């Protein structure tokens, strides 16, 4: 009976570099897509903040700092993707595990990347709407906006936790 490690060794010997590249691609995609979502989310909310600050400045009001909180929240999804990538990155020292689990690692990478990307993007859209609401509503409703953004954030946290649990464990060497 062939064990998983033996199977991984066979794959590594027979074109395993291709399999390893697919597994490594998954690791890169999770961080890249998560960062893309954070950038888009921050950009969308930042545009709304700039408009609100322009409106406040034009009327002589003090510029609101609370917009910074709302526009900065989507950055956390990049961190969540990096946490999953770091756990998966421990496998880089074990090419046979990467080769045997290349499809799984690619899938984890894509799923993590998309989960974090969309969570950050949607959080930016909620933040942009929240900035407009605060600007037009004389600052009322900030706590509700934080709760709404926290709910969107939860999707990113779930993606991180659930997909990190799917990363294969590094074997412990008996010493």
In this prediction, residue 13 carries a pLDDT of: 55
Report the percentage of the chain scoring pLDDT > 90. 69
pLDDT in tens, 113-141: 999 999 999 999 999 999 999 999 888 99
pLDDT digits (tens, 9 = 90+) for 61-89: 989 999 999 999 999 999 999 999 999 98
Instruction: Provide the token pair at 107.
Output: 């899938």
Question: φ, ψ for residue 161 (rounded to 5)?
Answer: -65, -50
**Domain at 37-164, CATH from 3.40.50.300, 3.40.1050.10, 1.20.1560.10, 1.20.120.610:** 1.20.120.610
Q: Give one DSSP letter per residue of 4-37, joined into a string.
A: HHHHHHHHHHTTHHHHHHHHHHHHHHHHHHHHHH
Q: Which residue has the higher pLDDT, 170 or 73?
A: 73
Q: What is the pLDDT of residue 19?
A: 77
Nearest-5° angle of CA 33, CA 36, CA 40? Answer: 145
Q: Sorting pLDDT into bands at 50, 70 and 90, what band is 24?
A: confident
The burial of 72, by beta-carbon neighbours within 10 Å (0-12 exposed, 13-18 middle, 19 or more buried), is given as middle
pTM: 0.85
């Amino acid at each position: 009976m062939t064990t998983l490690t033996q199977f991984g060794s066979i794959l590594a010997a027979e074109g395993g570099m291709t399999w390893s590249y697919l597994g490594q691609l998954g690791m890169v995609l999770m961080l890249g897509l998560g960062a893309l979502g954070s950038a888009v989310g921050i950009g969308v909310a930042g545009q709304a903040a700039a408009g609100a600050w322009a409106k406040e400045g034009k009327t002589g009001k003090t510029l609101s700092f609370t917009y910074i909180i709302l526009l900065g929240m989507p950055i956390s999804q990049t961190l969540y993707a990096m946490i999953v990538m770091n756990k998966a990155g421990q496998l880089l020292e074990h090419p046979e595990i990467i080769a045997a689990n290349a499809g799984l690692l690619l899938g984890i990478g894509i799923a993590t990347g998309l989960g974090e990307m969309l969570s950050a993007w949607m959080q930016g859209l909620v933040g942009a709407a929240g900035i407009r609401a605060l600007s037009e509503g004389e600052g009322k409703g900030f706590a509700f906006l934080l709760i709404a953004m926290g709910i969107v954030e939860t999707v990113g946290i779930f993606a991180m936790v659930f997909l990190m649990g799917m990363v294969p464990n590094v074997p412990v060497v008996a010493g």
